[in-house]
Structure formats: C-alpha cells, structure tokens
Amino acid sequence: MLRRRKSRRRGRRYGVVAAALGLAVVLAVAGWATMHAGSSGPTPVPSTAGVPMATIAGGSPTASPTGGPSPTPAVTATPVFATPAPSYPLVDSCNPKSVRSAIPVTAPASEKAGSFTLHVPILMYHRIVPSAEAGDSIPGLVVPPDTFAAQLDAIKQAGWHTITMATLANDLQAHVRPPDKTFVITIDDGWDDGYTYALPILQSHGFVATYFVIAGRIDQAGFLTSGHLQALVAAGEEIGDHTMDHVDLAEQPAAKLPYEIDAAAARIAQVTGRWPESFAYPSGVVDNRVAAAVAACGELRIAVTEEPVAPEAPGATEPPTGVPVALETWADRFVVPRVRITPNTKPAYLESDLRLLAAG
Ligand SMILES: [Zn+2]
C-alpha cells in the first residue's frame, strides 16, 4: 500500500512515460557543485537483452578497485546454504568493523585538481516481470522481460556497455574517463524478478546492473533472497542500499535514520559479504537532513535520486524535460539523478536519448 501511494505520487510528479530521457545528469564532486546543467517470477527465463550522467571537474586516471565490468559467470541456481537475512543480528552502524565478515569499501585516491566532467547516463528500472505476474505493482514500473530485452538490444547494438554505480563513483573520484558509450543500469526495490528475469537478460547482453535493495525485505515473499543476492554478487552485479523499509526519509525522526540507512547497509553486508557503497533515496526524496544522514555512513560513496522534478504541463503529450539539479555535495562523494525507464520507453528512442545525454 505504501508502495502504491508513493508511486502514485511519483506518477504525478514525473508523469509521462519515458520520463525525461532528455535529462542531463549532473554530479557534484568533492566540494564542487556542478550544475548544469516485486512478485515472484517463476524460473529464470533466459532471453536475449539505462539515464543521467555525471559531471565532474579533470585529473589523472587511476585504477578502479571496485566494481567494474565483470565477467559473466553462469548463475543457474540459488544457493541453498545462504543464511536468511533475519537470522543476522541488527547492526546499527556503518563502521566496517561492525560486520567483519564483509569486505569493506575501498576507493581510489581522490583527484581534486582541475575540472572534470563525465556524462554517463544512468537508467532506473524497478520490476522486470510479465504484467500478469506483477500483482498490484504500478504498471509504469513494470517492464515486461521482452521489452527489457528489446531496450537492451537497441543499446547493445549501438555499441554501449555498462559499468556499475560503484565503478562510476571510482571514475568520478579518480577522474577517470570511461570509454565512450558507457552507461549504468539500476534496478530498484529488490524484487525477485531482478534475479529470475532481469539477470539472464543482462548476462546475455554482457551487461551488469546495480540492484538497490530494501534490506528489510530480503528473504520476504516476492523479494530477492539471501541466496539470490549472493549469486548476483558472484555474477558481478552490485548490491546497493535502498534503506531498511523504503520509507520517506524526510518524514523520519532523526533517531530512525541510522536504522534506515546504516542498519540497512550492515544487513546487506551481512548477507552479501560486501559493504554496499551506493545508495538510492526511496522515491527520490531527499533534503539536507537526510543527505547528511546518508553522508554520515562512511561506506556509502555515491547516491542516486530520481529524475529532476519537471512539472508536467497540462495536456502535455511529451515527457517533461529539464536539467537535473545537483541536490547536494559530499566531500569525495557524489550524487546523481537518474532517468526512469518504463514499459513504454521505445528502444530506438532510448538509444538516441543515451547519445544525447552522453553528449552533455
Ligand atoms: Zn524504491
């Protein structure tokens, strides 16, 4: 119910489909504000198979210690040995020592000199599942697997390749310019179709994604299990923090924020064996207080919002467009808007929008 209410609100805010694929994504870097600008799927259904960008100011390349394009290991079954998420103790801390079994986040040296700008489109998906299996999810958030595959087909055929949010953070921090036609795919909310439907499609295209998981729903019916998450990590996908309960953080008392942000990160670390370094604000809602709470989690290095708010004109037939706004600036960390992809996002238009976004 909560999801439905929030989604309706989002629907009003962003309205039309292919929401603003005409956005430029911006990034705030190290003190620099740039502006500028659920349900259960059945078994895996292999088939065939993201947009903001980041803007930063220039430096020298450094190797990216985290993330990065990864191989495409076969993921065919859910491990049965995974410890269920609820079995782990609640850890209300982002100190890596609080979950010693998990690999802490490492980051490349920060390159702060000069001016460095990246335009890397970031696509935002929610569910990749046949409509008939989507339950009461908002239709605009449900992309059927064949549509997802067609969208990725168009992007792949045009020569694009993916990196994860973590790798984008590395590139931004070290001032590494990724190859042309680099983009990011994100999948929010942790529905189990991210494993059953999305993963095989991603793999058949040689793409990786960042999955923003709601930690409190891990192992719940319809959502990714601990075993799924471990398999996703083994496959080279990134698991990011999307809070514990997917609440509107701006409405939460200060005392609740560490639970929603830090405990969620720790829970993901317990389950996957890796501390998450990317964060997605539920429903894109963020204010200064919330941003500070997220920034206080030392492991989180990059956060994503949704599309910039662009009022939908009455009777408009085109998606709202506009320039995204950098909502905050973290020291050595980054905030990036994304572009929502819907079932109505036409593959050919999507690819051309990627080109526009990448061109800045
Ligand atoms: Zn969400």
Residue-wise pLDDT for 329-343, tens only, equals 444 567 777 888 889
Q: Which residues pair with 213 in a beta bridge?
A: 241
**Would you tell me how many other CB atoms lie within 10 Å of the CB of residue 307?**
26
Q: Is 346 left (phi over 0), alpha (psi -120 to 50) or beta?
A: beta
248 CA from centroid of ligand 1 (Å) = 10
pLDDT digits (tens, 9 = 90+) for 268-282: 999 999 999 999 999
Least confident of 112-121, 188-197, 264-273: 112-121
188 CA from centroid of ligand 1 (Å) = 5
324 against 246, higher pLDDT = 246
Which residue ranges make up each domain of the chain?
2-359
Mean pLDDT over 20-49 rounds to: 31
Tell me the residues surrounding ligand 1 (ion) with CB < 5 Å: 188-189
State how far the Cα of 51 lies from the Cα of 14, in Å rounded to an integer: 14
Which 3 state secondary structure label does DSSP give 233? helix
Could you tell me what percentage of the chain is helix, strand and coil, using 3-state DSSP and rounding each to the nearest 5?
A: 35, 10, 55
State how far the Cα of 134 lies from the Cα of 294, in Å rounded to an integer: 31
359 CA from centroid of ligand 1 (Å) = 28
Q: Give residue 332's pLDDT.
A: 55
Q: 40 pLDDT band (50/70/90 cuts)?
A: very low
Greatest mean pLDDT among 20-29, 41-50, 78-87, 239-248 = 239-248
Q: How would you class 24 by CB atoms within 10 Å of its CB: exposed for 0-12, middle for 13-18, buried for 19 or more?
A: buried
As a whole-number percent, the residues of the chain with pLDDT over 70 amount to: 69
58 CA from centroid of ligand 1 (Å) = 33
31 CA from centroid of ligand 1 (Å) = 27
Give the closest residue to 70 by CA, choosing from 167, 1, 200, 146: 167
171 CA from centroid of ligand 1 (Å) = 25
Q: 248 pLDDT band (50/70/90 cuts)?
A: very high
- Domain 2-359: which topology? TIM Barrel (3.20.20)
111 CA from centroid of ligand 1 (Å) = 32
205 CA from centroid of ligand 1 (Å) = 25
113 CA from centroid of ligand 1 (Å) = 35
283 CA from centroid of ligand 1 (Å) = 5
241 CA from centroid of ligand 1 (Å) = 10
Q: Which distant-in-sequence residues (6+ apart) come within 8 Å of 47 by Cβ?
A: 145, 146, 149, 200, 201, 204
Buried b (16+ CB within 10 A) or exposed e, 149-188: bbbbbbbbeeebbbbbbbbbbbbbbbbbebeebbbbbbbb
330 against 51, higher pLDDT = 330
Please calculate the CA angle 44-49-52 and round it to the nearest 5 degrees.
Answer: 115
4 CA from centroid of ligand 1 (Å) = 11
- The phi and psi torsions of 44 (rounded to 5 degrees) equal -55, 140
Mean pLDDT over 189-202 rounds to: 98
Q: Which residues pair with 240 in a beta bridge?
A: 212
Enter the pTM of the model. Answer: 0.77
- Residue pair 160/89 in contact (Cβ under 8 Å)? The answer is no
Instruction: Give the distance from CA 167 to its chain's centroid.
Output: 12
DSSP state of 248: -
Please calculate the CA angle 180-186-191 and round it to the nearest 5 degrees.
Answer: 155
280 CA from centroid of ligand 1 (Å) = 8
303 CA from centroid of ligand 1 (Å) = 13
